[in-house]
Structure 1
C-alpha cells in the first residue's frame, strides 16, 4: 500500500479507495481481468508494451464538433483534457463520430505527433497528427457489435456501459484498439469472384500451408505498412466510386474478376498526402498515369483540365466523359477536398480553367 501511495502521489479518501482506483486503471489497460467483487486476474502483458504513462486512445469528433477539427492534421481540445492527451503522444488513436450516418462509430486511425498550444483560442490545445499516419477506414466500425461495445473497458461489472467514462479523449487498451482496427481494415466490399474458376479454400484464404506462430500481434504494426495502407486506401476509394473511373465513367473488370480501376492520391504520399478518401479518386490505369504526371487536372467543381503537353489531345478527349466533368461520389464527405485539388493544380501549373 505504501508503494502505491508513493507512486501515485495520492492517498485518496482511504488507502483502499486508492488501491481500487489503481486496479480499475490496470483493468482498463487490459492488464487485469475482473473476476468478481475484489478479485482480479492478471491478463498478461499487452501485445506491445508502452512506456509508463503512455497509451493509445480515442478522440471524439465529427460534424457536431464546435472546435473545427481537421482529423488528418490536428484535433483541438480544452485544457481539462491536456493530461489525457499528453499520454497519447507518439501513440495511435482512433477517431469516433457520435452522430455518423447509420449510428456512431469509429471512422479513422492516426498517430499523435505532439501537443501544442492553440495560438488562435486561449485555453485550447492541438493534438498534431503525425504526417502520413492518418488512415480513413472507408466504412464505419460500429460503436457496438452484438450488443457489446468495441471498447470493453467502458463496461461496468454488471455489463452496462459507463456513461461517465465516455469522455472526448480517453485511453484505449491494446485489446480494444486491435478489435477496432481489425474490423476497420476489412474489405469495404468483397473482391469480385473469378469467372468460371472456382478456387479451393486454401486459395481463397491465401495460405498453402500452416503459418508459423507469431504470438500476440498489435494491429498498430500493420498501420505503418505501405502495402496494407495502399490496399485499404484502394478498397475504400473504389467502394465510394463503385469501382468506376471518375473521368472516363468506365467500370472495367479483367478476366480474373478484378476491377481495372485504381485509387489515385490527389496529393501524393511522397508529398505528405494522407490516405483519406477525400484525397483519393478512382481512375483507370491510363488516366491515373496521366494524372500523376500532370497531364490531367481537375477544378474544384470537377471540370477536367487538359495540359498543353498532351501530344494526342484528340485521343484523350475521346477517353474522358463527354461533358468533361468528373463524376463525384454521392456523399459530400467522400468527394475530393478543394485544397487537395488546388495543390495538384499548383503542383503542375494548371490555371483555374482550361
Structure 2
C-alpha cells in the first residue's frame, strides 16, 4: 500500500465527490491501485484556489468508470473522509511539504511532479500534513475555546500525543473536527431558523447535524452536515423536518408539528440558509437519503421540546 496526494477542484468537470469517489485517467491507475486500503490527502491546485491540502480519506477499491473508456473511479471508504481543521498551505517558509516537490536546496521544483494530479506521498510527509491540519490537541482546543476555566478538565487529553492514524479513526476526535468545520461553514448560524445565537460566554448555540448518519455510511464532509439549533437538530434527527428535492425548501411533517411552532422556529421564507462557499452546500444525494429514510418515518418518544 502507499499513500497519495489527489488534486481536486471544487468545480471539477469529472465525477469527483471527495467523500465518495475520485475520477482519474488510466495513466494514474497503477499508483491508485497501490493505494487501495491506505490514506490519501486532497489538494487544491494553485489555479483552483488558495486551500492547499484540505482533507484526508481512505481508498476502498478501484473500478472502471462505467461507459467511459480509459477512466477509473477510486471509491472512498465510507466514514473515512475528514476535512482538515486547518487547511495546510502548499509551502511553509518557502519549502514544499512533499519531498517529491523539493529541490536539493529546499526550494520548490517547477513542472514535472508538481503538475501531476496523483502523487505518491511518503508516510513522513503524510504525517506532517495531518499534524499541521488536525492538531493532536484539537479536542482540548475545542473544550477551552469558550470556557478557559475548562482547561483543567481538558488537561488529560493533552498528556500524550495520539498517533496520527488514531486521530483519523477515533470517533470523539472526528466528531469535534466535524462540528468545528460545519459550524464555521455556516458562520455559526442555524440553517433552518437563520438565527446566529451565542450564550453569555460567547459559545455558539448551534450544533452540527449529520444529514446521513455515520452509522448509515454518512461521511464527515461539510456537505453531509447542517448547522442547526438544538430543537431543530432534534426535529431533523426524528424526521419531523427535512429538505425538499430543490435542496433548499424546508419540509415539515405538519401532522406532527404545530403550525405555531413552525412559525416560531423556521425562516419566514421556508428556505435553507446556506454557506457562502458553494462547495459547502448540503449535497442533494445526502438530502435525498434523509428525505427517503428519515422524514416522516421515525416515531418520536417522550415530550417534544416545545411542549
Give the shorter-chain TM-score range.
Answer: 0.7 to 0.9
Q: Which runs of 5 or more residues in structure 2 are unaligned?
A: 297-307
Q: Is the 8 A contact 1:241 1:328 kept in 2?
A: yes
Confirm or deny that 1:281 pairs with 2:226. yes
Instruction: Evaluate the alpha carbon distance shift between residue 280 and residue 257 of structure 1 in structure 2; reply closer, same or farther with a 3 A threshold.
Output: same
RMSD: 2.7
Q: Is the 8 A contact 2:178 2:208 kept in 1?
A: yes
Show CA shifts across 1:136-183 (max 9, x none).
Answer: 236532111221212234212122223322322121122211222223
Which of 250, 259, 270 is 2:215 aligned to? 270
Confirm or deny that 1:252 pairs with 2:197. yes
Which of 123, 126, 133 is 1:184 aligned to? 133
- For residues 1-354 of structure 1, the aligned pairs below 5 Å read 54-63=1-10, 65-99=12-46, 102-137=49-84, 140-162=87-109, 163-166=111-114, 167-186=116-135, 192-194=145-147, 199=149, 203=152, 206-207=154-155, 211=159, 218-299=163-244, 300-348=246-294
How far 1:69 moved relative to its partner? Answer: 1.8
| Greater shift in the superposed pair: 85-94 or 168-177 | 168-177
Q: Is the 8 A contact 1:138 1:237 kept in 2?
A: no
Q: Is the 8 A contact 1:64 1:99 kept in 2?
A: no
Instruction: Evaluate the alpha carbon distance shift between residue 210 and residue 122 of structure 1 in structure 2; reply closer, same or farther with a 3 A threshold.
Output: closer
Report the Cα distance in structure 1 between the residues aligned to 2:269 and 2:293, rounded to whole angstroms: 25
Q: Is the 8 A contact 1:174 1:218 kept in 2?
A: no
How far 1:65 moved relative to its partner? Answer: 4.2
Instruction: Evaluate the alpha carbon distance shift between residue 334 and residue 181 of structure 1 in structure 2; reply closer, same or farther with a 3 A threshold.
Output: same
Report the Cα distance in structure 1 between the residues aligned to 2:243 and 2:286, rounded to whole angstroms: 10
Larger Rg computed on CA atoms:
1
Report the Cα distance in structure 2 between the residues aligned to 1:176 and 1:229, rounded to whole angstroms: 21
- How many residues are matched? 288
How far 1:278 moved relative to its partner? Answer: 1.2
| Greater shift in the superposed pair: 222-231 or 176-185 | 176-185
Q: Which runs of 5 or more residues in structure 1 are unaligned?
A: 1-53
Instruction: Evaluate the alpha carbon distance shift between residue 301 and residue 80 of structure 1 in structure 2; reply closer, same or farther with a 3 A threshold.
Output: closer
| Greater shift in the superposed pair: 300-309 or 97-106 | 97-106
Show CA shifts across 1:51-89 (max 9, x none).
Answer: xxx211111121464433222222122222122112111
Q: Is the 8 A contact 1:62 1:99 kept in 2?
A: no
Show CA shifts across 1:75-128 (max 9, x none).
Answer: 122222122112111100011110476525112110011122223211222211
Describe the SS at the equivalent of 2:23. Answer: strand
